[in-house]
Every structure is written in structure tokens, then in C-alpha cells.
Amino acid sequence: MADPAGGPGAMAQPRILLTKEPAPQTVPASDLPMKVYEVAMNTGTNSSTGLATAGFRTAKYLPTEWHLKNSELYHEAFAGCEQAEHGRAEAKELAEYAAAAAQRAQQDSTAAVGQRLQDIHFWKAELQREIQDLDAETRLLAAQKLRLERALDATEVPYAIATDNLQCRERRQAPDLVSDEVERELLREAELIRNIQELLKRTLMQASNQMRLNRDHKEFCEMDWSDKVETYNIDDKCGKYSNQSTNIQFHPSSVKFEESASTPDTWAKFSHDNIYRAEREKLASINLRALIDNILHDTSEDMRKQCAAVNEAFAKHCEELDDTKHKLEHQLKKILKEIGYQEANIAALKQAIKDKEAPMKVAQTRLYDRSFRPNVDLCRDEAQFRLIHEVEELTESINSLKKKLLESEQTLRNLEDTRMNLEKEIAVKTNSIFIDRQKCMTQRTRYPVVVKLAGYQ
């Protein structure tokens, strides 16, 4: 019969299969109480009232009573046997039914435990797969995070190069200290690298947070998986129990439901939610890895393009400086040659002026001596007019030569100033070329390649 409590343990007791009839129960022997009989009064027609038979007639049954009593005993014995036989048949039938019910209930319970093992194995396998996927995804994201760190470190060299180029170009001399295209490209490069560094730092922080979320949800799945493994082992052990097992015993207190026990729906929903959240974080991690790939590709390409633009501006500016310097040097050569010519010209003018001194002395001496002619001979003759005209011509020539000499000397001074300016400008251009080509462009050869900027090295 089932336990009145109605729990699983209530069905555990009737499951014992009876292979033979139980032994009859024995009752310990004891003294039966004495039966007290009432003495019948012999007062009928057949009674004897003689004193001689008085002692033999007391407490005696009549034959009819004796037969009646025997008949009652026969009937009572027959009814008892018939009732006992019927009870034995009912007991045997009940025992067979109880054994069959116990066996059937045990088979159903074993099948239910087996089905439960399949459910646990399914979720355990799903959790294990999700744990492996999350672990693999976290390793991939860690590799991307390492690329970000390498790329961030790689930006230090370009930024140092750009800032150093700007500082070096501050040492240019006037008038080459101009805000030219090279400086604008260098400023763009420095600003681009700063923006890229900020972007990489934000992405690094995002990757670290995503890795932490991946590990947290992996831990949740691992805890659930560990519970499923333990539960699977327990149910597997329970499914292997049989009536012949030696480690089974009575546990009456186990026939109850725990208040904190979950339902099959909440049990499955718990694992489903863990897997769903883990899948969501895994998808977020995959998207973040793709985003990191795009960021590293775009930033490295942008930096290399800007580097090429700066290099092109440097090369173009250096060509302009070279061309200007060559033109200045060519002009300097012409100025130097012209200075030589002018110096020779000045020397020739001075010599020409000096050459006019003797004729002037001759003419003036003649005029002076002729001024001593006496009386009427002091005549304004043709010779006098010609000598005066000669002196005037010589004076005019000397004045013209002196004027030209002054002009030539001023021209020479102008040429000297121009020469100095040209030499100074050539020195400025030489300094600018040295800064741009030897300092800046040589330093820019250390600019990292795309592979390093993308974080692969």
C-alpha cells in the first residue's frame, strides 16, 4: 500500500518483490481462562428428582445441544478455512500487484532519470561549447588588444618625428622662417597622430572592458556547467541503482520537495539565459575585433598617407630651396664679376682723371705765362681763346670723370651690398636646406612601416 504522505519515498517500501509466502506467525503459549458454565435446571418431564441421581444430572447438555454444538463447530471451522483460503488468495494477488506496481514504478522512475540525464547532457554540452567559444574569443580579443598596444606604442615615433621637425624648422633664419606648406602638413600630421592616439586609447579601454565581460560570463557558464556535471553524476548514480544494489537504504525524510527547488522550466531557462548572455557578449567581442581591425587599418593608412604628404612637401620645398640657392649663387657669380669690372672701371676713371692733370697743367701754365705778355701784345688772340677753351674742355672732362667715378664708386658699393645680401641669403638657404633635408628628411626615414603601425610587430 502507498504511504499516506504521497511522496516518492512512500512508493519505495512496496517495491520489494515477494518470491515466497511469508512464514506463519507464532503466538507464545499462555493459559486459557476457565469457561464458566451455568447449571441447567432439570425440572422438565424427563427430569429425575431422585436423590440417587442428583449428582450425575447437574451441568449436563442434552444430546440435541451436543449435536448442535458440534454442528456449529463444523460450520465455524469450515467458514474459517474458507475465509483463510480467500484471504490467502487476496494476499497473493495483492503481493503480485504490489510487486508489479513497484517494478513498473521503478522502471518509470529509471526512464525519467534517463530522460533527465539526456536533458542535463544537452545543456552541459551546450554550456561546454559556449565556454570553449568564449575562451577562444577572449584569446582572439586579447591578441587584438595586444595589436592595439603595439600600434599605440608605434605612434610615439611618428609623433616625436613630427614635433622634432617642427622644432627644428623653428631654427630657420629670416626670411625663410615662413609658415609654408611643409609646416602646415607637419601640423596636420601631429594633430592626426594625437587624434589616433586618443582613439586607440579609447578602443583599448573598450577591449579591456569586453574581455572582462567575456571572462565574467565564461565564469557564469563554468559554474552552471560544474553544477550540471555534479548533477549528471548524481543522476547517473541514481539511474544505476537496482533492487540488488548493496548501497541502498531507507531515507524517509527525503520524500519531500525542497522549498528552494526550481521547476523544469526555470531550470532550463537559467542555462538558456546564461548561454544567451554569453552569446551576446561573444557577438559583441566579434564586432569589436572587426572594429579594431578597421581602426588599425584606417589609422595606419592615414598616418602613412600623411607621412607621404609631408615627405612630398619636404621634397618640393627642398627643390625650391635648391633652385633658389642655385639662382642666388649664379647671381652672386655675376655680381662678383661685375664688382671686378667695376673696380677696374674705377681704376680706369681714376687713371683717366690723373691723366688729365698734365694737359691741364700745360694749358694753365701756358695761359699763366701768356698773361705776362707786355702791353699791346697781351692780345685775345686765337691761341688765347684756344687755350681757354682747352682748359674749359679739360675741366669739363675732369668733372665728368669725377662724377662718373662717384657713380661708379656708388655702384660698386651697391654691388658689394648686393653681394653681401646674396651671400647672406645663400647662407640662409643653405641652413634651410640643411634643416629640411639633413635634419628633418633624414629623421623621417625612421618613420614606422604600415605593418608596425597596424600592430603586427
Q: What is the CATH number of the domain that holds 113?
A: 1.20.1270
pLDDT attached to residue 59 = 64
Minimum mean pLDDT among 9-13, 190-194, 432-436: which range? 9-13
Q: What is the pLDDT of residues 98-149, one digit of tens each?
A: 999 988 998 998 899 899 899 999 999 999 999 999 999 999 999 999 999 9
Span 276-286, pLDDT tens digits:
999 999 999 99
Is the confidence at residue 340, as pLDDT, over 90?
yes
> Are the C-beta atoms of 15 and 102 separated by less than 8 Å?
yes
> Stretch 373-401: mean pLDDT, rounded?
90
Q: 197, exposed or middle or buried, with CB in 10 Å at 0-12, 13-18, 19+?
A: middle
- For residues 268 and 403, membership in a common domain is answered with no
Mean pLDDT of 394-406: 92
pLDDT score of 41 more than 80: no
Would you place residue 258 in the very low, low, confident or very high pLDDT band (cuts 50, 70, 90)?
Answer: confident
One-letter amino acid at 79 equals A
pLDDT at residue 387 tops 60: yes
Residue 353 lies in a domain: yes
User: What is the model's pLDDT at position 303?
Assistant: 92
Q: What integer is the mean pLDDT of 242-250?
A: 84
Q: What's the confidence (pLDDT) of residue 17?
A: 40
**Domain assignment present for 366:** yes
Most confident option among 53-67, 174-188, 252-266? 174-188
377 found inside a domain:
yes
Q: Report yes or no on 74 lying in a domain.
A: no
Q: Are residues 121 and 234 in the same domain?
A: yes
Same domain, 311 and 172: yes
Residue 309 pLDDT greater than 90, yes or no: yes
Q: Tell me: pLDDT of 152 over 90.
A: yes
Lowest mean pLDDT across 2-11, 168-177, 252-261: 2-11
pLDDT at 400 over 90: yes
Asked if residue 167 belongs to a domain, the reply is: yes
Confidence of residue 292 (pLDDT cuts 50, 70, 90): very high
Do 216 and 123 share a structural domain?
yes
Domain count, the chain: 2
Rounded Cα–Cα distance for residues 58 and 349 (Å): 206
Mark whether 269 and 169 lie in a shared domain: yes
> Environment class of residue 350 by beta-carbon count within 10 Å: exposed (0-12), middle (13-18) or buried (19+)?
middle
Do the domain assignments include residue 251?
A: no
For residues 60-74, b (16+ Cβ closer than 10 Å) or e, as one string? eeeeeeeeeeeeeee
Residue-number span of the structural domain to which 396 is assigned: 331-452
Residues 238 and 375 in one domain: no
Flag whether the pTM goes above 0.85.
no
Answer whether residue 387 is part of any domain: yes
355 plus 397 within the same structural domain:
yes
- Whole-number pLDDT of residue 251: 80
Which range among 51-60, 74-83, 145-154 shows the weakest confidence by mean pLDDT? 51-60
Q: pLDDT grade, residue 58 (50/70/90)?
A: low
The residue count of the chain comes to 457
220 is a domain residue: yes
For residues 282 and 142, state if they share a domain.
Answer: yes
Once rounded to an integer, what is the mean pLDDT over residues 303-308?
92
3-state SS of 205-254 is HHHHHHHHHHHHHHHHHHHHHHHHHHHHHHHHHHHCCCCCCCCCCCCHHH
- Please state, in angstroms and rounded to a whole number, the distance separating the CA atoms of residues 102 and 106: 6
Residues 107 and 159 occupy one common structural domain = yes
Give yes or no for residue 6 having a pLDDT over 50.
Answer: no
163 against 245, higher pLDDT: 163
Q: Verify that 279 and 413 share a domain, yes or no.
A: no
How does the average pLDDT of the chain come out, rounded? 85
Q: Does residue 290 share a domain with residue 189?
A: yes
Identify whether residues 359 and 381 lie together within a single domain: yes
At which of 291, 317, 343 does a domain end?
317
Lowest mean pLDDT among 17-21, 180-184, 227-231, 370-374: 17-21
